[in-house]
Every structure is written in C-alpha cells, then in structure tokens.
C-alpha cells in the first residue's frame, strides 16, 4: 500500500508534486490550525549538505479505487519531517495528503518502521533516541495513533483568547511599564529571554509582580479579529492569582492601545495558577495542542 524513503534530494517532478501537496494541506488545515510543513523549508534544508532536518517521503503505491477500473498511479502521500538535535533528541512533524486521510497511512507507516529508539543508531538510524511531536489542535489522527501504539501524551498546552475591545475593561486595566534587560536580570523567576518584541512589567507598591512579553504583529481570528500574542507571562511562585490576572489585563490593554481587537496566550494545562488567572481575565479556550513522545521523558 505504501513505500517510504529518507530523501536528501528531489527530482523536479517530485518537488512540484510535494509542493502542491503541502500547499493543499496547509489550506485544508488552516481553520483547525493543524500542523503544517512549508515546502520552502524542505527545499532549503535539502540544499544544505549538513542539515539537521531529515525528510521521510511516503508514497501511495498503485491501487484500485473501483472494480474493473485501472489502478491509480503511484503518488506522494505525505511527508515526515524530523529535526534532529546534537543531544540525541528530535522533533517530528508529519503531513498527509488531505485526499488520502482516514485510510491508515500513518498507522501503516508506524507498523512498518516501529517506534524503537534504543538501538545504537536511534530511531530509524537517525541518531534520535527521544522523539517528540506536537499535534496542534489535538488532531484526532494523532490521538488514534497514540492509543493504538501506546505513545505517551507528555504535555498539553491550551491556546486561550479574549477580546480587547471593551473600552471599559481596557481603561480600568493596570498600566504596565516597559521592562529593560537590567530590571529583568534582577528577577530570578524570569527566564533569561522572555521573548517577544515588547516586554512589560506589573509593578505594585514598588515591586515587580509579573512580566509579560508581547508580539504585537496581528494574527487573524474569525471571532476576535486582529489579535496580538502573549509570548510569555511570568510571575513569582508566591504571586496571587489576582496579581497574575492584573498582569494579563494589563497585557490586553497594551494590545488594545496598539489597535488590536484580541489577545492570545498559550498556557500549560497543568499550570493551575495561570489557568485560573486566565479564566478570571476573561480568556476562553480556542485550541488544545498535545505533545507525544517516544524514547524518554523530557
């Protein structure tokens, strides 16, 4: 039914076929926000002699679709992309042609290649002894694979979203102050690089009780319009939920002042304090991303 091969080059016809497949899949998966692979990234990686990315091309073999009809020709069915790290870990992402889904291509692939990462060469001789994969939007096919092959789910992240358009809320929100590297360096509970192009702090009674990094580039949402993204939100371990909420309200006000009508935040589903703060700040669930892992627990 299928064949597969690690590829470092593609013919012109294969490039055109794979580019078309990935483009159609990206359009098909745009609304549920499932994983996508950009052909330009594949092409770029294949042009580099020592790329850390590996590409497993999957073909659908010639097959009949109706009795008495000629077989359909061999075609590319999908791609598995593996980004390998020097420490023996790797991140995997896969895309299957939308017209060939729900017929078990990924199930058959896993049955054929297995999930053993303990061999000296790692999984499929890639050097990877721990492989993780994120299923954006909690893709149902990923869940079925996990159940079928006992692939552990090791993390869940919620994409949460709220409006910034209520003027009353925006004007009543705490005013955050821009934070520089010097002030952040004094805070042991803030990561070395909070990320985002705009970093702000919640200061109360002379002390900083929270730091938020914002990406104010607009992301489209059908319900909330042009949204900014909270790249990270940090607070000291002893911070109260109400303080975390004020940090989030302040971030929403910053996004509002930037002309954005919504704000997005990604929260670990097991981070009870931040989940509660998001609930109090009016965020609602938009998507669940699930991490799967074989070969270790990172």
For position 298, what pLDDT does the model report? 44
Q: What is the mean pLDDT of residues 257-271?
A: 97
Domains of the chain, each with CATH number or no CATH: 2-151 (3.40.630.30), 159-288 (3.40.630.30)
Q: What is the mean pLDDT of residues 108-134?
A: 96
Low-confidence winner among 36-50, 65-79, 254-268 (lowest mean pLDDT): 65-79
Q: What is the mean pLDDT of residues 42-58?
A: 96
> Taking the model in full, what pTM does it have?
0.86
Low-confidence winner among 49-53, 104-108, 142-146, 194-198 (lowest mean pLDDT): 194-198
Give the separation between CA 229 and CA 244, rounded to whole angstroms. 16
Confidence of residue 181 (pLDDT cuts 50, 70, 90): confident
Q: Is the pLDDT of residue 113 over 50?
A: yes
Beta bridge partners of 147: none
Residue predicted with more confidence, 243 or 195? 243
CB 157 within 8 A of CB 138: no
Six-digit token pair at 262? Answer: 């919504």
Six-digit token pair at 275? Answer: 């989940």
CA angle 103, 106, 111 (to 5 degrees): 110
Instruction: Report in angstroms the alpha-carbon separations of 288 from 33, 158, 291.
Output: 10, 5, 10
Q: What is the mean pLDDT of residues 210-232?
A: 95
State the chain's mean pLDDT as an integer. Answer: 92
Confidence of residue 168 (pLDDT cuts 50, 70, 90): low
Q: What is the mean pLDDT of residues 232-261?
A: 94
Residue bearing tokens 């589903």: 269
Q: Is the pLDDT of residue 183 over 70?
A: yes
For position 208, what pLDDT does the model report? 87
Confidence of residue 296 (pLDDT cuts 50, 70, 90): confident
Q: Is the pLDDT of residue 228 over 80?
A: yes
Beta bridge partners of 95: 79
User: Could you tell me what percent of the chain has a pLDDT over 70?
Assistant: 94
């Amino acid at each position: 039914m299928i064949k597969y091969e690690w590829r470092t080059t593609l013919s012109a016809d294969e490039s055109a076929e794979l580019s078309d497949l990935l483009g159609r899949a990206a359009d098909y998966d745009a609304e549920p926000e499932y994983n996508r692979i950009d052909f330009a990234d594949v092409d770029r990686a294949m042009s580099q002699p020592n790329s850390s990315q590996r590409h497993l091309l999957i073909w659908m073999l010639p097959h009949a679709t109706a009795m008495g009809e000629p077989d359909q020709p061999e075609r590319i069915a999908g791609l598995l992309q593996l980004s390998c790290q020097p420490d023996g870990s790797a991140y995997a992402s896969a895309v299957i042609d939308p017209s060939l889904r729900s017929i078990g291509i990924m199930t058959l692939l896993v049955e054929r290649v297995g999930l053993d990462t303990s061999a000296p060469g790692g999984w499929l001789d890639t050097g990877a002894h721990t492989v993780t994969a994120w299923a954006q939007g909690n893709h149902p096919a990923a869940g079925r694979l996990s159940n079928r092959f006992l692939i552990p789910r090791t993390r869940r992240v919620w994409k949460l979203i709220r409006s910034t358009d209520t003027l009353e809320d925006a004007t009543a929100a705490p005013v955050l102050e821009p934070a520089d590297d010097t002030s952040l360096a004094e805070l042991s509970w803030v990561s070395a690089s909070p990320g985002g192009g705009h970093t702000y702090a919640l200061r109360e009674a002379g002390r900083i009780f929270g730091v938020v990094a914002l990406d104010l580039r607009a992301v489209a949402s059908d319900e909330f319009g042009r949204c900014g993204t909270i790249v990270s939100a940090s607070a000291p371990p002893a911070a109260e939920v109400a303080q975390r909420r004020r940090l989030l309200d302040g971030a929403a006000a910053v996004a509002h002042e930037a002309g954005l009508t919504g704000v997005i935040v990604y929260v670990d589903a097991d981070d009870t304090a931040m989940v509660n703060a998001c609930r109090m700040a009016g965020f609602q669930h938009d998507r669940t991303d699930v991490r799967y892992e074989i070969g270790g627990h990172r």
